[in-house]
């Protein structure tokens, strides 16, 4: 049947390329750029996202199923009629004006006949009508739920038969998305036995992920359908993301053991620890260690061989993308942990070496997950100098992304902890971090990466959990590294200090205004090696610079705390209520106090003492530094400062409401 084309009507001149047309285009662009979110029970709920590998550029990151489903608002099913009919471009419009009308009527009749001949045609017509009501925006939740229940009544009992259609799959997803728990559980129950097939479909895979997320009571049964096909599904283009989301985002320990079981081989599957009893669940939660529990040496060897072969299959097909998934990293970590329990040390080294050779080229694809990070850190700690060089070569192009990732940065810290070749570290790890310090310091992860070069494992910036995690490789480090931790830290600090001090010298006027910048400034100036005079002078020059709101920089709490710390010569310990000074060879608080007086000057220092900000405490700390100072020339400086505070100024301070005036007057009396 030929579809004739109508001659397009001409629009008024005002609407052709005019300002209104441009405005509509801009509005649509802005609307499409808004972040996507799911709607749950009438409310907008952002779904959890899987951690992305650091090797993937931000613009290449794959969207979630919620983002895909939200595109259905732009892909209306009204276009289905056009896709089922061919347009003859060579056919000309008929001369008779009634011919086109008759042609369209004939086309509509033919289309209705074709649609009626399809299975469940009447059901789909009604479902699409209700679906258009469910997806409407800005309707009351109660009204939406009425449409959802009506739509579910239409589909009930037929979900399994229609769900593989691309349009029907979207309809079912909308019910799961907007409906309540009864509707979701009903759909999950009807689709039982089809989840593996649905996961391999380009469209319905998102439905499976939604059911795994929103139907916890059906989650185990859904995952059990995957149990004998996990490896094949991981290498499947569509099904791989379903397993990855289920394992990393939604499954509990027992449900993860269901997905991991196939890695252990056929012999392990003979012992069914996933039957559902509490004892089996507890044993299944142990993973590979539970399978090997009580096994003799020969059986352990067979199971470990099966795990190795299955992992080798995944890593030999790295182009499929499965090497980035947390489920694979967990299986690999369990394997390496089990290898450590092999009695023969030579056998341990051989098995670990073989696995390293298999996956060394794709280590950068693994560092973004908890288990993947542990695997790479184990390889670094156990490896030889040549192995570490190879690992850092693979990671070097991605150092900037690793520095801002919670798990990946632990790999960098372990490399700094165990690698003896300081020159290699300087080129591969230290230089990329210091070069990007201006971008890194703004985030907690990036700031930790910068500070680890200067003050590694300090409790001021690293949590006990992070320190404990990094300490896991300390025992291995004793066996594989020759340098002492202290000498290695000193060499790394010396390498990083020059670039960081130059950065502070150039950017002190920006860093001193921000809380994150003040944290980095304090640690670098206190603990870095080298000449800090230029960096300190640069910091002092901006202390009296007025901000946009006419307030002084020193009145910012974090900035005043920074100067107090530098004038104290160390950090204040709230547990012991004392200052922990750094060695004078690293930071001379007396010299900084003298420079403070010379650079800031009398006028600004006096202004700090009569204001209502935090400047009084800073000036008091400056006086305390002069009192502690044992240099002979400081006597004249003390007299000069004391001379600034005449009787009238002291009376003004006493009568004012300045915070810390009592401490200031006490220090002034001791000068």
Write the pLDDT tens digit of every residue in 579-600.
999 998 999 999 999 999 999 9
Q: In the numeric block, which tokens belong to residue 611?
A: 């204001």
> Is the pLDDT assigned to residue 8 strictly greater than 60?
no
Measured between alpha carbons, how far is 402 from 412 in angstroms, rounded to an integer? 8
Q: What is the pLDDT of residue 574?
A: 87
> Is the pLDDT assigned to residue 551 strictly greater than 50?
yes
Q: What is the pLDDT of residue 629?
A: 87
**What's the whole-number mean pLDDT along residues 480-496?**
94
Cβ-in-10-Å burial (0-12, 13-18, 19+) of 89 comes to: exposed
Q: What is the pLDDT of residue 57?
A: 64
DSSP bridge pairs for 570:
581
Q: What is the pLDDT of residue 1?
A: 38
> Is the pLDDT assigned to residue 86 strictly greater than 60?
no
Choose among 281, 187, 272: nearest CA to 228: 272
Q: What is the pLDDT of residue 42?
A: 45
**pLDDT tens-digit readout, 190-200:** 999 999 999 99
Q: What is the pLDDT of residue 179?
A: 93
Cβ neighbours of residue 90 closer than 8 Å, sequence gap 6 or more: none
Half-sphere exposure of 386 (CA within 13 A, CB side): 3
Measured between alpha carbons, how far is 373 from 367 in angstroms, rounded to an integer? 4
Q: What is the pLDDT of residue 3?
A: 41
Q: What is the pLDDT of residue 58?
A: 55
Measured between alpha carbons, how far is 503 from 102 in angstroms, rounded to an integer? 78
Q: Which of 272-276, 528-532, 610-614 has the lowest mean pLDDT?
A: 272-276
Contact 418, 381 (CB under 8 A): yes
Q: What is the pLDDT of residue 412?
A: 97
Q: What is the pLDDT of residue 290?
A: 87
**What's the whole-number mean pLDDT along residues 210-223?**
95
**What's the whole-number mean pLDDT along residues 52-62?**
67
**pLDDT tens-digit readout, 342-383:** 999 999 999 999 999 999 999 999 999 999 999 999 999 999
Q: What is the pLDDT of residue 467?
A: 96
């Amino acid at each position: 049947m030929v579809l004739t084309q109508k001659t397009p009507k001409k629009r008024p001149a005002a609407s052709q390329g005019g300002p209104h047309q441009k405005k509509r285009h801009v509005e649509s662009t802005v609307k499409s750029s808004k972040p996507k979110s799911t709607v749950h029970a009438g409310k907008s709920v952002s779904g959890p996202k899987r951690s992305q590998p650091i090797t993937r550029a931000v613009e290449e990151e794959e969207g979630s199923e919620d983002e895909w489903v939200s595109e259905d608002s732009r892909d209306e099913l009204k276009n289905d009629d056009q896709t089922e009919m061919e347009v003859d471009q060579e056919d000309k419009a008929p001369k008779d004006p009634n011919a086109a009308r008759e042609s369209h009527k004939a086309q509509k009749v033919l289309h209705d006949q074709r649609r009626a001949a399809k299975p469940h045609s009447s059901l789909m017509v009604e479902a699409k009508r209700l679906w258009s009501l469910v997806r409407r925006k800005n309707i009351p939740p109660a009204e939406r739920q009425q449409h959802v229940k009506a739509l579910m009544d239409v589909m009930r009992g037929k979900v399994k038969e229609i769900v593989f259609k691309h349009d029907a799959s979207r309809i079912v997803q909308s019910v799961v998305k907007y409906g309540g728990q009864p509707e979701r559980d009903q759909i999950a129950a009807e689709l039982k036995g089809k989840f593996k097939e649905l996961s391999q479909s380009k469209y319905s895979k998102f439905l499976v992920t939604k059911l795994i997320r929103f139907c916890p009571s059906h989650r185990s049964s859904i995952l059990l359908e995957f149990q004998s096909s996990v490896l094949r599904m991981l290498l499947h283009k569509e099904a791989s993301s379903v397993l990855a989301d289920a394992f990393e985002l939604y499954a509990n320990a027992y449900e993860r053991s269901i997905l991991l079981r196939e890695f252990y081989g056929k012999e392990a599957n003979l012992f069914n620890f996933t039957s559902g009893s509490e004892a089996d669940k507890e044993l299944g939660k142990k993973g590979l260690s539970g399978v090997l529990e009580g096994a003799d040496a020969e059986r352990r060897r067979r199971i470990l061989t099966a795990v190795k072969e299955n992992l080798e299959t995944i890593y030999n097909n790295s182009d499929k993308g499965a090497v980035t998934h947390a489920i694979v990293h967990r299986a690999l970590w369990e394997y390496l942990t089990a290898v450590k329990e092999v009695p023969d040390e030579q056998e341990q080294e051989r098995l670990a070496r073989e696995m390293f050779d298999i996956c060394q080229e794709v280590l950068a694809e693994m560092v973004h997950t908890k288990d993947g990070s542990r695997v790479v850190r184990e390889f670094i700690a156990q490896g030889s100098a040549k192995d570490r060089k190879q690992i850092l070569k693979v990671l070097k192009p991605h150092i900037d992304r690793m520095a801002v990732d919670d798990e990946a940065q632990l790999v960098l810290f372990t490399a700094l902890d165990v690698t003896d070749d300081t020159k290699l570290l300087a080129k591969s790890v230290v230089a990329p971090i210091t070069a990007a310090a201006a971008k890194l310091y703004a985030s907690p992860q990036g700031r930790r990466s910068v500070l680890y070069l200067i003050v590694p494992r300090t409790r001021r910036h690293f949590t006990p959990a992070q320190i404990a995690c990094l300490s896991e490789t300390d025992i291995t480090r004793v066996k594989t590294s020759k340098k002492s931790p202290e000498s290695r830290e000193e060499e790394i600090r010396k390498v990083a200090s020059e670039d960081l001090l130059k950065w502070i010298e150039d950017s002190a006027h920006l860093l001193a205004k921000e809380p994150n910048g003040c944290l980095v400034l304090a640690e670098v100036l206190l603990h870095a090696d080298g000449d800090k005079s230029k960096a300190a002078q640069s910091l002092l020059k901006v202390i009296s610079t007025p901000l946009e709101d006419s307030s002084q920089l020193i009145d910012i709490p974090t900035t005043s705390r920074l100067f107090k710390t530098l004038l104290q010569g160390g950090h204040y310990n709230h547990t012991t209520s004392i200052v922990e000074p750094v060695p004078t060879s690293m930071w001379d608080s007396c010299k900084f106090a003298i420079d403070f007086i010379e650079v800031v000057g009398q006028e600004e220092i006096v202004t700090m003492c009569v204001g209502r900000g935090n400047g009084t405490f800073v000036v008091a700390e400056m006086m305390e530094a002069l009192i502690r100072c044992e240099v002979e020339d400081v006597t004249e400086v003390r007299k000069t400062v004391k001379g600034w505070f005449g009787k009238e100024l002291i009376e003004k301070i006493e009568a004012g409401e300045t915070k810390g005036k009592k401490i200031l007057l006490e220090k002034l009396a001791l000068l």
